[in-house]
């Protein structure tokens, strides 16, 4: 196939060909992500897809991302490559090199997420980079817990370093990671899986370039960025210029968190100012600004520009700022383990602003529940079990909310059978939580009820770091009711009320009920057939149907 001419003067044939290349780049990323899921050691990566993968041009700007992955990983990674290259200049890199870091302020916001960047060479010149991110279950320190007072307690931090040099693994870096991990084989395996997935992506990228006779990615970069920038600008132009504000309150650790947003819409750009938000917390629920930008921008894009592929150009139309030292702009060495408690709430915060600009067109608040269930066996055979419990998504302007859906993160949960095979725990039940979806013309998505215990008669250590919305459920929209709030308790009567650490006594079980999504519209306007289905399927009890929707027993039976 002949070389395609400059994107500034494209024929129809060239335009079609460049679109094909663009889609092929996305396929490269998706294969990269699939390799990571196949070879990853941790179940949270292998089963839940808690990862990201992407291809970048020679300037370190993201061209495409895998469909598999989370906004918190993808959108931070979009910045990570450039930040890492600022520490290790490209002209010092050689074929076979790869860089690594888990610095929360350069990577994905906490020490458990590692970023690996691999340069791609063609004819001795760097033509692009493959990058990937995934969650490593244990990197030392206090482990998965929000009780830390600084980053120094939370685990080992690897500065931007060469994970591989001219094809040779840097065993010194790997030994630092494994020596500090309670599960060294899994930690090493997960780091190497990031390296493997990048190598696969690099090989596919070279194949693609040779097929189209590209010696660089400059032309396709120009094409992708031009089209994406134009599409994002058109999407923003559909919203009236102005300034819109919103405030959202979270449980926090030992005091509530206030998140404030001032969203300014211009002709072709949106800026979000978070300066009114709470100051840094003393515990590990702070959010570095890079992670804040990732999720705040995702909320806007999800509503306005979901049809525009995610890359450096489509992201640049949305900017996010906050003065240093806030819970949304925490500075080193603030503790940040459970930074996603704040991050998951930011899409709802900015969507609340857009609901004032686009009345009746924005979904209700979602639970934002990405409840990390970290259970550790403290008996004679220590173990660690990590899974996630998901809540309900807010009802949409014309549809019910999705139940047990990880919006905005997009991850899944580890299947019960896999979780039980990986650690000596038993899932006694995992089911929808009736009545947890907020009432409305369109009902909020349901949360879930999960009951877990140990196989042996031994205590379990629980970190409640990520349990949020235990005090107030997600708000409804346009007259809809709030979703059900979450609840965490044990069978001995203990109720979890903060984000500290707890012990589950031998023989007792943990019971979690995640929040549901808010409802949309007046509940009295709900379709009677839809309500009847909800009742017959056990999603809404007869009691709630009567109290929230105003239906009599006779009407319900009809």
Asked whether the predicted pLDDT for residue 495 surpasses 70, the reply is yes
**Tens digits of per-residue pLDDT, 530-552?**
999 999 999 999 999 999 998 76
Q: pLDDT value at position 7?
A: 46
Which residue in 73, 34, 10 sits closest to 224, CA to CA?
Answer: 10
- pLDDT confidence bin for 555, thresholds 50/70/90: low
| CB-CB contact of 344 with 370 (8 Å) | yes
Q: pLDDT value at position 9?
A: 62
Q: pLDDT value at position 43?
A: 87
- pLDDT confidence bin for 6, thresholds 50/70/90: very low
E strand segments, 221-369 = 242-250, 257-265, 270-273, 318-321
| CB-CB contact of 504 with 510 (8 Å) | yes
Structure-block tokens of residue 407: 């919006």
Q: pLDDT value at position 553?
A: 58
Asked whether the predicted pLDDT for residue 128 surpasses 50, the reply is yes
| CB-CB contact of 555 with 528 (8 Å) | yes
d(CA 466, CA 445): 20
Over the chain, what is the mean pLDDT? Answer: 94
Check residue 279 and report its DSSP letter.
B
Asked whether the predicted pLDDT for residue 4 surpasses 70, the reply is no
Q: pLDDT value at position 8?
A: 52
Mean pLDDT within 125-132: 98
Mean pLDDT within 309-338: 97
d(CA 350, CA 347): 5
- Other Cβ atoms within 10 Å of 206 Cβ, number: 16
Asked whether the predicted pLDDT for residue 148 surpasses 80, the reply is yes
Residue whose pair of structure tokens reads 């250590």 in the numeric block: 461
Asked whether the predicted pLDDT for residue 512 surpasses 50, the reply is yes
Q: pLDDT value at position 550?
A: 86
Q: pLDDT value at position 480?
A: 98
Distance spanning both ends of the chain, measured CA to CA: 66
Mean pLDDT within 15-20: 92
- pLDDT confidence bin for 254, thresholds 50/70/90: confident
d(CA 173, CA 182): 16
Q: pLDDT value at position 378?
A: 78
Q: pLDDT value at position 552?
A: 67
Mean pLDDT within 201-219: 96
In the chain, count H helices and then E strands: 14, 19
Mean pLDDT within 354-358: 97
State pTM to two decimals.
0.94
DSSP 3-state percent helix, strand, coil across the chain (nearest 5): 35, 20, 45
Asked whether the predicted pLDDT for residue 209 surpasses 80, the reply is yes
Asked whether the predicted pLDDT for residue 460 surpasses 50, the reply is yes
Asked whether the predicted pLDDT for residue 558 surpasses 60, the reply is no
Mean pLDDT within 501-524: 97
- Other Cβ atoms within 10 Å of 240 Cβ, number: 9
Alpha helices in 126-282 (DSSP H): 171-180, 184-211, 218-237
Asked whether the predicted pLDDT for residue 498 surpasses 80, the reply is yes
**Tens digits of per-residue pLDDT, 80-127?**
999 999 999 999 999 999 999 999 999 999 999 999 999 999 999 999
d(CA 312, CA 126): 19
Backbone torsions φ then ψ of 286, nearest 5 degrees: -75, 160
Check residue 91 and report its DSSP letter.
G
Residue whose pair of structure tokens reads 């007869």 in the numeric block: 542
């Amino acid at each position: 196939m002949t070389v395609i001419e400059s994107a500034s003067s494209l024929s129809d044939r060239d335009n079609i060909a460049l679109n094909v290349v663009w889609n092929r780049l996305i396929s490269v990323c998706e294969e990269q992500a699939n390799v990571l899921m196949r070879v990853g050691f941790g179940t949270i990566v292998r089963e839940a897809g808690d990862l990201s993968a992407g291809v970048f041009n020679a300037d370190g700007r993201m061209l495409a991302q895998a469909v598999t992955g989370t906004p918190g990983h993808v959108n931070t990674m979009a910045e990570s490559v450039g930040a890492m290259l600022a520490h290790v200049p490209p002209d010092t890199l050689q074929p076979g090199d790869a860089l690594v870091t888990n610095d929360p302020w350069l990577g994905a916001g906490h020490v458990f997420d590692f970023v690996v960047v691999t340069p791609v060479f063609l004819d001795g010149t760097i033509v692009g980079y493959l990058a990937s991110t995934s969650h490593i279950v244990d990197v030392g320190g206090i482990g998965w817990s929000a009780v830390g007072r600084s980053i120094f307690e939370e685990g080992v931090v690897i500065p931007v370093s060469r994970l591989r040099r001219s094809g040779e693994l840097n065993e010194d870096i790997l030994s630092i990671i494994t020596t500090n991990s309670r599960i060294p084989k899994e930690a090493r395996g997960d780091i190497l899986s990031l390296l493997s997935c990048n190598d696969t992506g690099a090989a596919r990228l070279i194949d693609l370039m040779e097929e189209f006779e590209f010696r660089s990615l400059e032309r396709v970069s120009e094409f992708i960025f031009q089209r994406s920038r134009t599409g994002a600008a058109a999407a923003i132009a559909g919203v009236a210029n102005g300034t819109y504000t919103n405030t959202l309150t979270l449980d926090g650790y030992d005091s509530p968190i206030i998140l404030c947003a001032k969203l300014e819409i211009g002709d072709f750009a949106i800026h979000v100012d978070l300066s009114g938000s709470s100051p840094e917390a003393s515990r590990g629920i702070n959010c570095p600004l890079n992670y804040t930008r990732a999720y705040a921008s995702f909320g806007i894009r999800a509503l306005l520009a979901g049809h525009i592929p995610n890359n450096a150009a489509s992201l640049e139309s949305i900017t996010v700022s906050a003065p240093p030292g806030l819970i949304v702009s925490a500075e080193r060495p603030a503790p940040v383990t459970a930074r996603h408690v704040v991050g998951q709430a930011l899409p709802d915060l900015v969507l609340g602003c857009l609901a004032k600009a686009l009345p009746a067109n924005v979904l209700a608040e979602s639970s934002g529940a990405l409840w990390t269930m970290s259970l550790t066996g403290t008996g004679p055979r220590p173990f660690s079990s990590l899974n996630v419990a998901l809540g309900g998504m807010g009802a949409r302007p014309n549809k019910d909310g999705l139940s047990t859906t990880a919006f905005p993160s997009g991850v899944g949960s580890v299947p019960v059978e896999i979780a039980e095979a990986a650690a000596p725990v038993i899932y006694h039940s995992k089911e929808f939580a009736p009545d947890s979806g907020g009432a409305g013309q369109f009902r909020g998505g349901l949360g879930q009820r999960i009951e877990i215990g140990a196989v042996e008669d031994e205590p379990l250590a629980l970190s409640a770091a990520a349990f949020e919305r235990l005090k107030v459920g997600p708000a409804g929209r346009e007259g809809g009711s709030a979703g059900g709030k979450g609840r965490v308790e044990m069978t001995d009567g203990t109720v979890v009320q903060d984000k500290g650490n707890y012990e589950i006594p031998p023989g007792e079980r943990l019971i979690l009920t995640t929040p549901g999504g808010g409802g949309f519209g007046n509940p009295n306007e709900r379709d009677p057939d839809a309500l009847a289905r909800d009742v017959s399927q056990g999603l809404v009890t007869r009691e709630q149907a009567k109290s929230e929707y105003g239906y009599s027993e006779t009407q319900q039976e009809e």
